[in-house]
Structure formats: structure tokens, C-alpha cells
Amino acid sequence: MKRVVLVGGTHGNEWGGIYLCQKWQNTPEIWAKYPFQVETYLANPRAIEVNRRYLEEDLNRCFRSSDLANHDLSSYEAQRAKVVAQDLSGCDFLIDLHNTTSNMGMSLILSREEALDDPLMLQLCAHLLQQDALVRIYYMPQNAKDSPYLPSLGQRELTLEVGPMAHGTLRADLFFKTEQLVQTMLTFLADWERGEAKAYEGELTIYRQLENLDYPRTPAGHMRGMIHPQLYGRDYRPLYPGRPLYVTFEGLVLNYEGDETVWPVFINEQAYYEKGLAMSLTRKEQIPL
């Protein structure tokens, strides 16, 4: 492992990663102790400048191999993705720092499908789960070539999704927890490189992506309801069949109609309203280490 990249500002209004990268850029000497190069990288500087998620389209959906190869795509982010790909492709480990308005604590999102077959990734996750009670492993497998996500540029990668925090704001507790968790990751990677990493046994709890749910809508496509108060803020808590999911503006309760218990995440994330995504449903699983 030669090159580890910490990315902030893939979304220009997610300040946790942005301010952490800016802090780290002022103190590059703190990385000297690691047996690999550590870099910070602000992925969408123009979006950061205007404090918006993106200028024209979501940068974190611009990294499919076919899109990177397609020079006809003309949006600002489509251009920017090609520059970011030149800068970061093939780095050994890429950590993309995100924030969410959802109550997702310190979520490690694994989007590479082979992550659960990779001893390093499994051991890293097991280690991080020991470090902070808010850590959760969210597995949403994607074929790397088809993955639209920026971290797919790395040989290994994860997205650290931290919340709840309103976009365009900072929360000191989550800022320092994120900093701590990234340092713990780097220390673990360094120990792994040196063959000194602690080996965990037993099982790992993960939350596997099942499907995305939209808000209730009118035939014309307008929102007709909200997350039910009994579900609001309960990311990674079990949702049982028949329990309240939404409440319409008129006060009608809409229940979860599925057959199996699920564990919702990204409940009420601000940026996902425009994507028609009220929450993602996951299944809680135990993976052998």
C-alpha cells in the first residue's frame, strides 16, 4: 500500500469532510508516521465555493467507466469527474468523507461487491466497530466498473457517512469523532502493512442494501406525505411489517407492507428528496470473519 487518499467535498455543502481536509492540509506532518503516503483531496471545489451539493449534477454519480470514457457529457461535474479520475485512479485506499441529515452515526458504506471477500476490509470494519458505538457497516454492492461513485476509483475504498448534520453546517462532536475514526483507520492500515494488525475472529454485523423507497406521491408525482414520527431518526433500528412508515399531509398513516423485518437507513436525507428516495431498506446480517 503506497497511496491513501482522504477525500472531502465530493458534495460541496457537506462541511465535515471539507473542514477536516482543510485542517489536515495545514498539518501535513501528522501523516509522516504512516508507512504510506496520505493525501487529502477536495473533489468539487466550485461546489464548495458556492456551498451547494453540486453545480449541475451530483458528482458522486459521475464515475461509471462508460461515463468517464464519454467525452460528449458536458456538465461541469461530468468534466470534473474526468479530472478527479486522472488524479485519484488506482490509489490504494480511498476514503470519501460525507455527511447526512439522517441519523446514521458513523456509517461505513462499502459499495464494492468484493469488499466482503477481502480480509483487509473485513478486519478493518471489525476494528472500527470496536472504536465508536456509532459505527455501522452499510453494504450496497456495486460492480466497480458500473459504480457511479467517486470512491470506486480506489483499489480499495469506503465512504464514511456521518450524521445527523444539516448540510452547510458543522457539529463539533461529529467533527472530532470523524477525525478520530479516520486516524484509527490509518493506524489500522499501517499496522496491517507492517503485519502487526490485531486479527479479529467471530462475526461482523452488516446492513445489506435491499431497496430504496420513495415518499408517497399523488398521481401527478407531488409529495403527499412525510416520514412517520415513529420512524423519524430511527436509522438502523428494526422496522417490522405493519408498522408506520409515512403519514400524509392529511394525517393518514401508511404502514410498511413488506413481509420481512428491515433496517432503514438514509431516512429523510435532504439530498435524496430530489432523487425520490425517502429511505433505503437494509437487512441485518452476520458475516463470518
| Binding positions for a second copy, rule: CB under 8 A | 19, 23, 51, 101, 166-173, 175-176, 223, 226-229, 232, 247, 249-251, 268, 270, 273-274
Q: Could you give phi then psi for residue 23, rounded to 5 degrees? A: -60, -45
> Which of residues 194 and 222 has its CB atom nearest to a second copy in the complex?
222
> Which of residues 223 and 289 has its CB atom nearest to a second copy in the complex?
223
* Least spacing, CB of residue 280 vs a second copy, in Å: 16
What does each C-alpha distance from 7 to 62, 157, 167 come to in angstroms? 16, 11, 17
Cα-atom radius of gyration of the chain, to the nearest Å? 19
Picking from 193, 207, 190, the residue whose alpha carbon sits closest to that of residue 116 is 207
* Least spacing, CB of residue 205 vs a second copy, in Å: 27
Find the helix or strand (DSSP H, E) in which 183 lies: helix 172-193
* Least spacing, CB of residue 206 vs a second copy, in Å: 27
> Which of residues 148 and 216 has its CB atom nearest to a second copy in the complex?
216
d(CA 137, CA 107): 6
Residue 60 is classified by DSSP as G
d(CA 258, CA 211): 11
Q: Which contacts (CB < 8 Å, 24+ apart) does range 64-68 have?
A: 64/145, 64/146, 64/147, 64/148, 65/145, 65/146, 67/148
The residue type of 66 is S
> Which of residues 35 and 45 has its CB atom nearest to a second copy in the complex?
45
* Least spacing, CB of residue 132 vs a second copy, in Å: 15
> Which of residues 23 and 284 has its CB atom nearest to a second copy in the complex?
23
Classified as helix, coil or strand, 209 is strand
> Which of residues 167 and 208 has its CB atom nearest to a second copy in the complex?
167
| DSSP strands (E only) in 133-252 | 135-142, 156-163, 203-213, 225-227, 244-248
* Least spacing, CB of residue 267 vs a second copy, in Å: 10
* Least spacing, CB of residue 250 vs a second copy, in Å: 8
* Least spacing, CB of residue 16 vs a second copy, in Å: 10
> Which of residues 50 and 69 has its CB atom nearest to a second copy in the complex?
50
